[in-house]
Amino acid sequence: MRSGILAIVLLIAAVVAYLSVFIVNPTQQALVLQFGKIVEQPKKDPGLYFKIPFVQNVVYFDKRILNLNMPPLEPITSDKKRLIVDAFARYQISNPVLFYQRVQNIQTANRRLSTFLQSSLRSEVGRTSFVALVRDDRTGVMENIRRDIDANAEQLGIEVIDVKIRRADLPDANSQAIYARMQTERQQEATEIRAQGEEAARRIRSRADRDATVLVAEARRDSEIMRGTGDAERNRIFAEAFGADPEFFAFYRSMQAYEAGLRSGDTSLVLSPDSSFFRFFKDPSGILPAPGTDGNGSQGVSDRNPSLAAQ
């Protein structure tokens, strides 16, 4: 009987001891409640803690960074374009006491934060153009949304760490129209650039043709000047040679004429033997006989006796 009572006492003591302690993990933070009222400071450090059994109870909250996913929205940008925006947020419970007093659990907190995120996203996208959201200032838009949500979430004991936009696309019908317009704009731009290139090419080609014509004309002018100068110099030299020795000059020119005119070939010349062309063949001095003589200085029969010639 005594041993049975002792066993019961030991069992009760074990139960009381078990209910008097609680453990906080590194990923948790805890609140000690007494009849629903917070009686101690939050337990944020991991370890073993004590409480009054049957009177106090412990509520645990996650200390890690939590994700908030929301369904895609269709806000309208400042330039009246409807977009499909898929975004999410990451947050952390920074004040467990305020979190418990305002929302008490994660599910309620997610619903409240989702409302904040949708409202802030619609408002910020409505102030932003399509190009800024998609390309130019996407980071700035996300930071503005984060600050707006964080200001509201602070009242719930929550700190918003980050807000990200996974994608921001046009609806399919609008996308096709936008792509067609972008393609048309690119084609117009390409046509304009090609026309400018053709104009520049014609301008360069015209300038090159003009420069070539000027260069050829100047070259011809210089060549004619040089040819004229050469001809004048040649004539001067010939004139000096003729003045120095006219007989030799006449002989030299005749030799050149014989060389050019009597070379072998198909050309035939019909000339009188008395032609001046052959004067150096008859007399090395090149002196032609006087008209009416036989080449030796004597007169012919007709000249000496005209009457006999008439007979």
Over residues 200-217, the mean pLDDT reads 92
Residue 210, both tokens: 């003009």
Over residues 178-184, the mean pLDDT reads 80
Residue 245: φ, ψ to 5°: -150, 90
Amino acid making up residue 66: L
What b-and-e string marks burial along 254-287, b requiring 16 or more CB atoms within 10 Å of the CB? beeeeeeeeeeeeeeeeeeeeeebebbeeeeeee
* C-alpha closest to that of 93 among 159, 37, 45: 159
**pLDDT value, residue 81:** 80
Q: How far apart are CA 43 and CA 62, in angstroms?
A: 12
End-to-end CA distance of the chain: 206
User: What would the pLDDT profile of 88-116 be if each residue is shown by its tens digit?
Assistant: 999 999 899 889 988 888 899 999 999 99
* C-alpha closest to that of 120 among 148, 79, 81: 148
User: What would the pLDDT profile of 247-257 be if each residue is shown by its tens digit?
Assistant: 777 777 777 77
Class of residue 30 by CB neighbours under 10 A (exposed 0-12, middle 13-18, buried 19+): buried
CA angle 256, 262, 267 (to 5 degrees): 130
* pTM across the whole model: 0.52
